[in-house]
A and B are shown apart, each in its own frame.
Chain A
């Protein structure tokens, strides 16, 4: 059994220690808000926070996450920044298919936690690891700026 701390709660999973956090969340715990996109940390759909740092859960084995603070899209609204971003995402109608957006919001939350007024260039750097095949990038930029404003 592996003991994990997810969204403030302790949970135990009976999985091979090599199992990525992504599959512990999705298959063992039924937390499907975190998405599978590539499995090689290339697309960002699986982004969660580990100790506040945006992390690709598809390449992070549960053995490496023991004792760490894991936060997922399901609990990001508990953070003031995450909540503001979700509101901005709706207000700017960012999502098209929406599949990558959990990961986008997790990356954007980490950005705004560390940079209260990011420039377009700051946003590009922070969000470059998150692919959106629908091409919602322009509205992602707008929504991040808008959320930063509401938080100021």
Chain B
């Protein structure tokens, strides 16, 4: 998801982070000895924004303080991670932060995903969530302080026991030493729990780091390579059933009638019933022994859908309507005076269009529900524990604290598991509730699954957009006026995030990456958010997915028209102080790539640089055209993400982000609708990049000791414009539509 809450409210705020200083509130950290001989470190800090939260629910006292650190009798240390890990590496990076300050050896560390719990809410957003590339940035202080405070209490315990000054004690690899004394952390846990929580902790300087800043393999790398890693879809419980849901062909469609006769006859099918679905629709659920009988039965359902209910959108008429709406935009986001345009000698620009995009994570959505008399246990690979826990509770007629929501590792997500409406969890809970009402405890738990077709057709897409850009140039090619209009659905309208991120009718997630106007142009930016009956959502890097394309291809075009090298043009127009990091990333990529040196015939260089989630990424790409399609041979990345906690994972995030962004350019990678029905359904007609499409991507980081910025998303936005810029150099024509269609050029 977007910098959304995080950017405006949470991330905008080096200040907020600095002001948090949670350890000044010593009550919030508690150590307690375990009967088993271990030590629990409990964190109950309320949000720094708690007082500002409008929703009464957010004012609740912390109810479920839970351990972050557990020191076991064998001196291994279990660290709880308050994020989802869906490939970005939080399960490794956050324990690295804590282990560094706790002064233990990496081999001692075990890492677990935390369940939904008050203690695990993000210290800045007061939501337990994973998004906005905020995991490491928002945990950077918290996880290190928990480690440091715990270490100090262990040292205090040892000093007390040995009757030596604290200053004489040193730590390392989970052992405290002083003179001839030596004790493992595990042996000190009982007395450490009696020590006062320190008022102040001193964190290590980067020069003292032994874990942070050094490449670490994923802590679950072995499980990942041996098939032993358990995802949500792998949950198995005694007596568990599997459910599939037949949704209407249109969003919000409803069942008129159903003939389930043949479906019920399928061996292994237990029940078939109607349930409410997302957006006021209804559908038919099939509960069976496993996926296969459920799918067979679902295919045999004969459902009549209500006429005149559900969406009617068609992509071609939608684009025409957006073009019409661009003539008269509703709101002004950036309001420069465009009078300079009167002196224009030349005009550039045109309409850019972007389709709906499905996230299509490899693991289809799923959730498992076990309803008991006093509550329910739910297993889900969710990015949004706090919101989903409340939504499940509401659907089941329970209180949030009665829902034990277990975070399962997820097979990708890219935003699809962070849904403000909790669509897949509400639908799943509805099925589980009806199943439980009809069959009681004997019915057993139920795993609600999605097929790939359900996933591709299921909505919550990156919104389709139209951009209209008119650039007025003087005789030297200088920009006199930049008139920019964006038309596209608001992601946040109607969600709990609206209050934070929709200002004056403008959804900040749609304008991010343009509105900052990093090149200091005489810019007017106006927007319209049409209401369209297609559910939309953040898609890895959110508004930057389309905005980086428009900005970085358009300035490239301006530079070429002015006869200036596009890299030189960018550096000349970026404020040297304000955008020093962007310039550094660009210069690093240029320097390492050999940009400008001759390439084989039919190849061209393409460059783009974009900042998102606090991180600047520049790509220099070597591109040709092969069999009528763009072929990306090599990409050199220059990245400024401040201090890099885990360089091995950081490189992977940029490489992966680049491939993820590459998808946007590839023929066929678009979701289209006809009369309200999504036209694609599978990896065959919505084809993501394969190994044959993947370029060699070399990643270089600008060295820095400043607090880390995001890495999960910033690798996505600049690749599509870098490719388009190279194609423009090759073909002398500008493509203004994604996916790229060379035949239309």
- Min C-beta distance of A88 to chain B, whole Å: 9
Contacts of B236 in A (CB 8 A): 30, 32
B231: min CB distance to chain A, Å: 6
Contact between B691 and A40, CB atoms less than 8 A apart:
no
Q: Is there contact, CB below 8 Å, between A131 and B412?
A: no
Interface membership of B684, Cβ < 8 A: yes
Partner of A96, one of B89, B295, B689: B89
Contacts of A123 in B (CB 8 A): 691
Q: Complex formed: what's the CA distance from A104 to B510 in Å?
A: 36
- Indicate which residue in B233, B684, B688 contacts A40 across the interface (CB closer than 8 Å): B684
Evaluate contact between B691 and A133: CB separation under 8 angstroms: no
Distance between Cα atoms of A47 and B452 in the complex (Å): 16
Q: Which residues of B contact A96 (CB under 8 A)?
A: 87-89, 218, 652-653, 656
B219 to chain A, nearest CB (A): 11
Interface contact A23-B652, CB-CB below 8 Å: no
Provide the B205-228 mask, 1 if CB < 8 A to any CB of A, else 0: 000000000010110111111111
Give the Cβ gap from B85 to chain A, nearest Cβ, in Å. 8
**A129 to B409 alpha-carbon distance, docked (Å):** 24
Most chain B CB neighbours (cut-off 10 Å) among A23, A73, A96, A124: A96
Roughly how many angstroms separate A99 CA and B364 CA in the complex, as a whole number? 10
- B305 close to A (CB within 8 Å): no
For A42, the closest partner residue in chain B by CB is: B683
A52 at the interface (CB under 8 A from B): no
| Docked CA distance A61–B453 (Å) | 20
B226 near A42 with CB under 8 A, answer no
**B689 lies within 8 A of A135 (CB):** yes
Tell me how far the C-beta of A121 lies from the nearest C-beta in chain B, rounded to whole angstroms.
9
Q: Are A94 and B225 in contact (CB under 8 A)?
A: yes
User: How far is it, in angstroms, between the C-alpha of A85 and the C-alpha of B227 when the chains are bound?
Assistant: 13
Partner of B226, one of A39, A77, A135: A77
Q: Tell whether, in the assembled complex, residue A36 and residue B364 are in contact, meaning their CB atoms are under 8 Å apart.
A: yes
Q: Are A138 and B694 in contact (CB under 8 A)?
A: yes
A139 close to B (CB within 8 Å): yes
A125 to B277, CA, bound (A): 42
Contact of B221 among A72, A85, A90, A133 (CB under 8 A): A90
| Interface contact A98-B691, CB-CB below 8 Å | no
- Tell me, rounded to whole Å, the shortest Cβ–Cβ distance linking A125 to chain B: 8
Instruction: Kindly state whether residue B229 has any CB partner on chain A within 8 Å.
Output: yes
Does B460 sit within 8 A of A, measured CB to CB?
no
The total of chain A residues at the interface (CB under 8 A) is 59
Whether B410 sits at the interface, judged by CB under 8 Å, is yes
Choose the segment among B121-129, B185-193, B286-294 that binds chain A (4+ C-beta atoms closer than 8 Å). Answer: B286-294
Closest-by-CB residue of A relative to B657 is: A135
Q: Are the C-beta atoms of B363 and A97 separated by less than 8 Å?
A: yes
Q: How long is the Cα–Cα vector from A7 to B89 in the complex, in angstroms?
A: 32
B534 adjacent to chain A (CB < 8 Å)? no
Shortest distance in angstroms between B257's beta carbon and chain A's nearest beta carbon?
Answer: 28
Name the residue in A73, A99, A130 with the highest tally of chain B Cβ atoms < 10 Å from its Cβ: A99
- Asked, given contacts A86-B225, A99-B411, whether A93 binds B656 with beta carbons under 8 Å apart, the answer is no
Given contacts A42-B683, A97-B362, A99-B231, contact A135 B660 (CB under 8 A): yes
Is B690 close to A, CB under 8 A? Answer: yes
Name the distance in Å between B723's Cβ and chain A's nearest Cβ. 15
B152, CB-defined interface residue at 8 Å: no
Given A27-B292, A35-B411, A133-B360: A42 touches B691 (CB 8 Å cut-off)? no
Please list 23 pairs of residues, one from A and one from B, whose beta carbons are closer than 8 Å in the complex, sorted by A's number: A16-B267, A32-B227, A33-B228, A40-B452, A43-B683, A73-B227, A77-B226, A89-B221, A90-B217, A93-B217, A94-B225, A95-B87, A96-B653, A97-B362, A98-B218, A133-B362, A134-B412, A134-B652, A135-B658, A135-B662, A136-B652, A136-B655, A139-B655
Top 4 closest pairs, chain A to chain B, by CB: A33-B227, A135-B659, A99-B411, A97-B87
Known A40-B452, A105-B225, A135-B662; 14 more pairs at CB < 8 Å: A19-B292, A27-B291, A33-B228, A34-B227, A74-B226, A93-B648, A94-B225, A95-B224, A99-B363, A99-B412, A131-B362, A136-B656, A139-B652, A141-B691
Q: What is A's interface to B at a CB cutoff of 8 Å? A: 15-16, 18-20, 23, 26-28, 30, 32-40, 42-43, 45, 72-74, 77, 85-86, 89-91, 93-102, 105, 123-124, 127-141
